[in-house]
Amino acid sequence: MIAMVWNELIVCYLFLAGLGAGSFLLASVTGWLSGSTKKIRLIGSVVGLATVAVGTLLLMVDARAGLGSPARFFGLVSNLGSPMAWGVLCLSVFLVIAAASLIFQLAKKKVPKFIDVLGMLCSLGVATYTGVLLGAAKAYPLWNMAILPALFVVSAALAGFSLVSAIAYFSARDELPSLTFMPKAEVVLPVLVGVLFAALLVATAAVPGDSAHAAASLSVQRMLVGSFASVFWIGVVVCGIVVPLVAGVCRLISKRRDVTNVGMIGYVASCIGEFAMRYVIVMAAVSITLGAAF
Amino acid sequence: MQRAETKSGKRPFMLVDVSLCIGCHACVNACKFENELEIKQFNTWIETWDAGEYPNVVRANVPHLCNHCDDAPCLAVCPTGATYRNDDGLILVDQEKCIGCKYCMAACPFSVRWQNDAGEVEKCTFCVNRTSAGLLPACAGNCPTHARLFGDLNDPNSEVAKKVAELGAESMLPELGIGTNTCYVGLAETNALPKSSSVLHGGRVAVKLEEMGA
Amino acid sequence: MEEEKEDGSMAITDLSRRRFTQLAGLTGAAALAGLGLPDAAEAAEQAPVDPEFPVSGRGRKLEAAYDPNTDEIKVNDEVIVRYSNCVGCYAMCGVRLKLDRDSREILAQGGNPYNPCNAYPVLPFDEPLTEAYRTMTQSPTKQTGAATCCGRSLGALDVYLNSYRITTPLKRAGKRGEGKWEPISWDQLIEETVEGGKLFAHLGEDREIEGFRAVRDFDTPLVPDAPEFGSKANGLIYCGGRTDGRGQTSTRFLSMYGSSNKYSHHSSCYGAKGVYPYQSGDGDDLGIDAENNEYAIWMGTFPGANGGSVMSDLKRVAATIENKQAKIVVFDPNLGNGVVTPAQDNAVWYPIKPATNSALTMGMIRWIIDNEKYNEGFMCAPNLPQAIKLGFNACTNATHLVIVDEAHPNYRHMMHPEDAGLTPSSAENAFEDQYVCIDAATQQPAVSLDCDKGLMEWEGEVNGVKVRTAYLFLKDSANEHTIEEYSEICGVPVDVIEEVASEFVAHGTKSSVNGAGGVTSANGTDATSCYSTLAGLTGAICMKGSIIATFVGVTGPGNGERYLLSKAEGMPKDKPDARVDRTGFAWEDTSEYKRRTAAGEKDPKPLLPWYPGGVGTSDNQMVLSLANGYPHKAKILLTWQCNPIKATPGAQREEVMAAFKDPDIIPLAICSDVVEGTFAHMADYIVPDTMYREHFGISQHAAWWPHKGNFLQWPMVEPKSMKLDDGRHASFDVYLCDVGRKLGLPGYGDEALLSATGEKLPFNDACDYYVKALANVAYEDGVIEDLSDEEIRMQALDTLPEAWKKAVTPEEWSKVQRLLSRGCRTWPEADTWDDQGRQTYAGAYMVNFYSEERGSVRNHYTGKFYEGALGWHAETFSDGTPIADVYSREEYPFGAASHKPYFRCVTMLSDSALLRELSPHNYLEINIEDARELGIKDGDTVQAINPSGDVMEGVAMLRGGTARGNIGISFGYTQDAYGSTDLTVGDETVPGNPAINTGVQLCQMLDPQVGEGAIFAFSDPEASTPGRNGGMFKLVVPTA
Ligand SMILES: Nc1nc2c(c(=O)[nH]1)N[C@H]1C(S)=C(S)[C@@H](COP(=O)(O)OP(=O)(O)OC[C@H]3O[C@@H](n4cnc5c(=O)[nH]c(N)nc54)[C@H](O)[C@@H]3O)O[C@H]1N2
Ligand SMILES: Nc1nc2c(c(=O)[nH]1)N[C@H]1C(S)=C(S)[C@@H](COP(=O)(O)OP(=O)(O)OC[C@H]3O[C@@H](n4cnc5c(=O)[nH]c(N)nc54)[C@H](O)[C@@H]3O)O[C@H]1N2
Ligand code: SF4
Ligand code: SF4
Ligand code: SF4
Ligand code: SF4
Ligand code: SF4
Ligand SMILES: [Mo]
């Protein structure tokens, strides 16, 4: 009996929020690019808005008592000391900005620069917040406040960029070369995810305090060899890091730096991988009360 | 013992003497009846195991419940303010405000919070309805060995203050540096012994012997 | 982990459940998943506005409020608090019920502060009720005196509130054991069970069944040609009852009916503790003075985990450990969930192999004798007055002479003055017989009563008869083995044996040793004798801090100052010598033996063993007798509140169950139960009963508590059992009253109960009897005061039924109310000890180093005498063959030691969803090192198999807290009925809940040495009690 507070619903929420943030980040960044990126911007905005909205919905569904008495959701920002209150603010602003951006695009108007700036900030905010949310929960040593926010930001970027690129591969292939930073990003991001994840494991394994240490080792153990080993090795490592990296390197060293079928595999894999990463981080976490029993 | 000040000047406090706890569950079940908890809801539970190496073995029983932390992580993360601190310093949940986001549950290092059927989060209240009227909490009032002593730590005449003055008080996870108002005697000594059985919650295996890497 | 499967019961909707309830006479299960407490909305509605008694979202109405500034207590008028006894288990603690004054709903349950079991320090009887409230507050002086009940007790409350309950009479509507019933009226129940007839003709059973009337026939012998079994009336075989003080009504019934086949669970419970070959005297059970000792050896009871009074022992032992007054050691195959905890250094557990207590004790005795550390002065006092003069409170027979002349008619008996040619003494004698010793002053034989000091080690001839002192038998017995050999046998290291022996003697009369259920083994007669024999070496008996007399209180309390309740004119006198359980009677005296020897058979053997020296009555042997139809069958089996099949390890098997379902063996089976227990399941009729909290009972204390008191149960809430037309609630008591009246038994009906002044008063309900018995207690040994009006109001004792009030005089009623208000009567603790620490309530005790009771009895299989002195004897089968000679120890290297459950009570409480949640099943507890050698992992499914091939399959729990070579098993799991099987009443069915029947039950092997074809569970060949702990097992991991 290993107590767990949050479940797959929260995993989906964390993933969708990250995915949306990453997508919208890409959409916002296109404002600074020279080539034609209209379709990609649209894709990123729609995906960003939709996934974050769905994620937020999941968050509300998970908050069963609030769902039963929706008026209670108005209390959500009562305690500004709570990362969740800030998160809610971030999400709200994000949704407003994303919606506004979309409206401009659908109205075929130029998206104002300040919306792009705010969009980038909100995207970063949402992605960071998903990490802070977990990091602030002291009961789980795996949820490391120093590393998780950064890890979630890069992995959000990787997943979001990948998803948008993948969709663009089918519906806006012509615009893909405009994303000039992508070939490099497709190498750098998986590397960063890998490095940060490794750092997370190292930091977790080295957490001080007997109980925390025991819980932390058990978390790490559950990931590396225990009940989450397959999700970890296949999902996080292979799909989330190795395959995207290989695909990214292939693209970077290829002459034309075009997106190929190999690249597509990398995109799909990274989405799966970033989901898997959030899954193991949430599900393999072991509370230190259980540690206290060691 | 230095504790954060409270508005009322009182400091409701529980001291659990691990050397006196025999795991009889009188407290657990009394709590259930007093607080009308359903079968799978527990404000307090006992963790039990064989401690020491054969044949020098003793039976460890450690009660768990809310620590009404001075620096309460649950309070810090609750976005709605449903979790609050009352004038006596107790950490309580206003169910009317709770949305059931479970952030407090994730933040509580002691895992003492649980969700009711409506999704609202609950936990030990230090039996605020009883204790604020000068009565003992259901659990401490039904502990046959008075392994659980309850009273006002700020009143030097209370039994609990006297015992704390004599024997001191340990927190459950001292490394967290959270000031706890449920404290223990003999916990560190207990945890220092090697475990020679699974850890049980009641009669259920909670952590298997093999999982403890013993 | 496993999820509880409630599916079966959940299938019934609320509505149909209610309809079912009405139809079938079952109540309960208000909320199968919850605790059946009113839902939150209802509670909120009920919440009082009174700011003095706040009620938050959770939490129930308060009983009182306490102001720490003024030290004032204010009682809440809306709530009443009543005190009585808990019968959650047989420890019989006190209980406190918090009730809503208006609705009488039970709000909470706790302990009774006036009862020493639940409160330590205990509140003296004279303290006002407000002081009782104080123990529930944060008042700085009272928290450690808080009166408590245990977790099981609250499980029992869960059962009371929620389980399906039989509330009206049920008659079998299928075969026995099919779980099919029809509800019948109370009158039909009485009519049919009394008058008999073709009761099941409508089911196609043509048998004519004799009822109570036909069986009560004093002219026809029960067994033709076997007059030792008495008349046919003895064909009523009764079993039931606990030490809860409620057995008086059935005792009365059986004696008025005229059957001596009356059993309770004593034999299956405390085993050989019921035989006292090593102590003479008039006391009842002995126990440890947990409160006052400096050193205590617990050997067969684990303080805090089990014991005659778990709570009383626990509180006192915990206090002596906490304040460093005492050091306690516990020898037990299982480390119990008790007082041996971390972070203290004066309570130690020593693992011991099951059924080897006497090896350990003999090792200790050997050390004490070798080092001459015994108290020679005490041992040489040849009589009680002399021992008292020396500062003790009991004596020994160390110096008494035993006849060892084989030719002498009193061979192996004690020498009496007549045998020695001495004139009996005229000195007052606390014991039945007079003995002879060698006077130390004259070196000549003398009547021990007339001698100040005897010789302990003497052998020779007296009056031409070869004799030796009783002590020499013990010494020889101790010398049979070396301490190293004893150590090897019991698994306790030599240095531990020596240290414990030396500590035990060093603390003199402040050290104590005892145990209980741990002696229930095939060599239990030795195990139970260990305690008094050790005390005989130091004088630690009936002294403050030593082994003490327990059960001190008004005995009975039938006959007292006010009423003579055990008497009635015309009581039948027919008391046969032999009973169906084969105890207290020698095989050689049976008609069967005589007949077979007369027919020329040489040395015939019975089908099942006989026990001339066994415990008084034996429920486990009664079960085995009926299972084999030997020595005779039953006419009527009446059971109440018991489960002797499950209580006898090894008896719970198909063949035994089949016999109990067989109308040839038991033509009429009547069971009184509150749920469909094992016996109810196999009965023809079920008599509904009240449960505790709903009925009367007056007991002494099972606790090892040296003081004097009586403890009572009384109906604090209205019974849930059906209300009869005349306003009485159906119960076993009422059943017996009505059967007695219909039969015209003496002592039943309108002129039945006698007052001390000779008045004849009616007996139609339990209150008629018990309220009078309460009056006896109130007037005994210093009459108590009336209860004040204020306290009457506090507990609403002015609303009690008129019938109770009418049972006694108005003068008595007010005193009875005072008893009810305290739930007990205790006498001042200060009166317990004299100025030299002697227990004033103790009877006269003599420790027998040689027991003629035992030493002069022969095993009828071997023809050999049993040993007269305590010694180490390995477990044997009935014919004296060591079990290890019949089966291979190498193949079956394990013994088993069962212990009382923490989350069940004996065979009960698996119908509590709360306790099932805490503990869904038990385990096979295996030593961690043994398990690793066998490749067993924690949580593996394993099988423990005995030589008879019985398989106990369960989940392995690896423990450092289990002795090597032991399999520990918690009692109380698995059920063959009790709600685990479908129950059909009329045309409604409550599906069985499989979660009630989980875990493993200890199954001991069959005794292969008894007669051909007999089914006989391994038993103590001397005491007749179950061979519960010990036996032979192998552990196997099943290959799937
Ligand atoms: N928790 C709990 N307490 C109970 C009850 C209950 O159901 N549950 N029931 C009550 C009843 S009915 C009774 S009679 C009392 C009985 O109370 P006890 O007689 O004290 O209880 P048991 O558990 O039968 O046996 C006591 C201990 O003896 C140990 N033992 C077994 N074999 C041996 C042996 O060979 N040598 C030694 N030294 N020890 C051995 C067992 O492991 C156990 O711990 O308990 C009462 N209290
Ligand atoms: N293996 C093993 N065997 C043991 C023991 C052990 O430790 N291990 N312990 C032994 C001991 S100490 C004992 S005392 C015996 C217990 O054995 P018993 O005393 O024979 O059995 P109980 O469990 O008390 O009886 C249970 C029945 O009484 C019914 N009952 C409960 N309350 C009431 C009531 O108010 N009215 C009526 N009419 N019926 C009621 C229950 O529903 C149930 O059917 O078992 C003994 N057997
Ligand atoms: S009631 Fe006391 S002794 Fe029993 S389990 Fe609770 S804290 Fe421990
Ligand atoms: S123990 Fe947990 S729930 Fe209780 S105050 Fe501390 S953090 Fe909050
Ligand atoms: S679940 Fe309720 S109490 Fe807990 S953090 Fe969320 S709103 Fe606050
Ligand atoms: S203080 Fe009250 S709510 Fe808390 S564990 Fe004890 S009984 Fe339960
Ligand atoms: S030990 Fe037995 S009698 Fe005493 S409170 Fe517990 S269940 Fe009741
Ligand atoms: Mo018992």
Query: Band of the pLDDT at A291, cuts 50, 70, 90?
Result: low
pLDDT of residue C557: 66
What b-and-e string marks burial along B110-135, b requiring 16 or more CB atoms within 10 Å of the CB?
A: bbbbbbbeebbbbbbbbbbbbbbbbb
Q: Is pLDDT of C717 > 80?
A: yes
Give per-residue pLDDT as tens, B108-134: 999 999 999 999 999 999 999 999 999
CA distance C170 to C59: 39
CB contact, 8 Å: B87 with chain C? no
Beta strand segments in C429-566, E: 436-438, 445-447, 459-462, 465-469, 511-514, 547-549, 563-564
pLDDT of residue C555: 73
Reading phi first (left if > 0) and then psi (alpha if -120 to 50, else beta), residue A279 is in alpha
**What number is the average pLDDT over the span C319-347?**
97
Give ∠ CA C400-C401-C405 in degrees, rounded to 5.
165
Centre of ligand 6 from the C-alpha of residue B138, in Å: 6
- Which residue carries 């003895």 as its tokens? C234
Query: Band of the pLDDT at A255, cuts 50, 70, 90?
Result: confident
Residue of C996 and B214 predicted with greater confidence: C996
Give per-residue pLDDT as tens, C384-412: 999 999 999 999 999 999 999 999 999 99
* A186, A252 Cβ separation under 8 angstroms: yes
Pocket of ligand 1 (CB under 6 A): C 89-91, 269-270, 299-302, 305-308, 310, 331-334, 336, 352, 354-355, 357, 515-518, 521, 897, 899-902, 905-906, 1029
Burial class of residue C374 (count of CB atoms within 10 Å of its CB; 0-12, 13-18, 19+)? buried
What is the fold of A8-286?
Formate dehydrogenase/DMSO reductase fold (1.20.1630)
Strands C180-183, C983-985: pairing kind: parallel
**Two tokens, residue C995:** 């979660």
pLDDT of residue C685: 98
pLDDT of residue B175: 85
pLDDT of residue C720: 95
Domains of chain B: 12-65+126-207 (3.30.70.20)
Reading phi first (left if > 0) and then psi (alpha if -120 to 50, else beta), residue C943 is in beta
Indicate the SS3 state at residue C414: strand
* A115, A16 Cβ separation under 8 angstroms: no
CA distance C727 to B127: 41
Give per-residue pLDDT as tens, C593-642: 999 999 999 999 999 999 998 777 999 999 999 999 999 999 999 999 99
Query: Band of the pLDDT at A35, cuts 50, 70, 90?
Result: confident
Record: contact A289-B109, CB cut-off 8 A:
yes
**Two tokens, residue C931:** 């398990």
Question: In terms of CA atoms, which chain A residue is nearest residue B119?
Answer: A65
Q: Is pLDDT of C560 > 90?
A: no
What is the fold of C885-1036?
Barwin-like endoglucanases (2.40.40)
CA distance C868 to B5: 72
Report the percentage of chain C scoring pLDDT > 90: 85
Contacting residues of C for B51, CB less than 8 Å apart: 342, 960
**Two tokens, residue A5:** 């507070």
Q: Is pLDDT of A202 > 60?
A: yes
Give per-residue pLDDT as tens, C921-959: 999 999 999 999 999 999 999 999 999 999 999 999 999
Question: In terms of CA atoms, which chain A residue is nearest residue B174?
Answer: A209
> Does the C-beta of C722 come closer than 6 Å to ligand 7?
no
Residues C285-550+844-852, CATH architecture: 3-Layer(aba) Sandwich (3.40)
Beta bridge partners of C514: C298
CA distance A36 to B165: 75
pLDDT of residue C561: 87
- Which residue carries 């959500």 as its tokens? A76
CA distance C1009 to C878: 7
pLDDT of residue C3: 35
* C136, B139 Cβ separation under 8 angstroms: no
Give per-residue pLDDT as tens, C424-436: 999 999 998 999 9
> Does the C-beta of B31 come closer than 6 Å to ligand 3?
no
Q: CB neighbours (10 Å) of residue C517? A: 25
Beta bridge partners of C1006: C1017
pLDDT of residue C37: 35
Sign of CA dihedral C487, C491, C494, C498: negative
Residue of C142 and C439 predicted with greater confidence: C439
CA distance A240 to C984: 60
Chains that touch B (3 or more CB pairs under 8 A): A, C
**What number is the average pLDDT over the span C150-169?**
94
Give per-residue pLDDT as tens, C682-695: 999 999 999 999 99
Centre of ligand 5 from the C-alpha of residue C382, in Å: 77
Cα distances from C688 to residues C29, C720, C731, C749, in angstroms, run 17, 10, 6, 21
Concatenating the DSSP letter of every residue in C167-195 gives -S-EEE-SSTTS-EEEE--HHHHHHHHHH
Centre of ligand 7 from the C-alpha of residue C355, in Å: 27
> Does the C-beta of C89 come closer than 6 Å to ligand 7?
yes
Question: In terms of CA atoms, which chain B residue is nearest residue A86?
Answer: B79
Query: Band of the pLDDT at C142, cuts 50, 70, 90?
Result: confident
**What number is the average pLDDT over the span A17-36?**
92
Query: Band of the pLDDT at C281, cuts 50, 70, 90?
Result: low
Strands C951-959, C894-899: pairing kind: unpaired
> Does the C-beta of B137 come closer than 6 Å to ligand 3?
no
**Two tokens, residue A242:** 């190795």
pLDDT of residue C266: 85
Q: Nearest by CB to B106, which of A6, A75, A79?
A: A6
CA distance C549 to C285: 6
Query: Among A206-210, A253-257, B140-144, C973-977, which is the least confidently predicted range?
Result: A206-210
pLDDT of residue C1: 34
Q: How far is the alpha carbon of A253 from chain B, nearest alpha carbon, in Å?
A: 45
Q: Is pLDDT of C378 > 50?
A: yes
Query: Band of the pLDDT at C18, cuts 50, 70, 90?
Result: very low
Q: Is pLDDT of C446 > 50?
A: yes
**Two tokens, residue C890:** 């190498």
**What number is the average pLDDT over the span C668-681?**
97
Record: contact B119-A66, CB cut-off 8 A:
yes
Q: Is pLDDT of C2 > 50?
A: no
**Rounded-to-10 torsion of CA C372, C375, C380, C381:** 180
Domain with CATH 3.40.228.10 in chain C: 285-550+844-852
* C582, C1024 Cβ separation under 8 angstroms: yes
* C270, C264 Cβ separation under 8 angstroms: no
Burial class of residue C817 (count of CB atoms within 10 Å of its CB; 0-12, 13-18, 19+)? buried
Query: Band of the pLDDT at C141, cuts 50, 70, 90?
Result: confident
List of residues 6+ apart from C142 with CB closer than 8 A = C134, C135
Strands B58-64, B83-85: pairing kind: unpaired
Question: In terms of CA atoms, which chain B residue is nearest residue A3?
Answer: B111
Contacting residues of A for B106, CB less than 8 Å apart: 5-6, 134, 137, 139-140
Domain with CATH 2.40.40.20 in chain C: 885-1036
Q: Is pLDDT of C144 > 90?
A: no
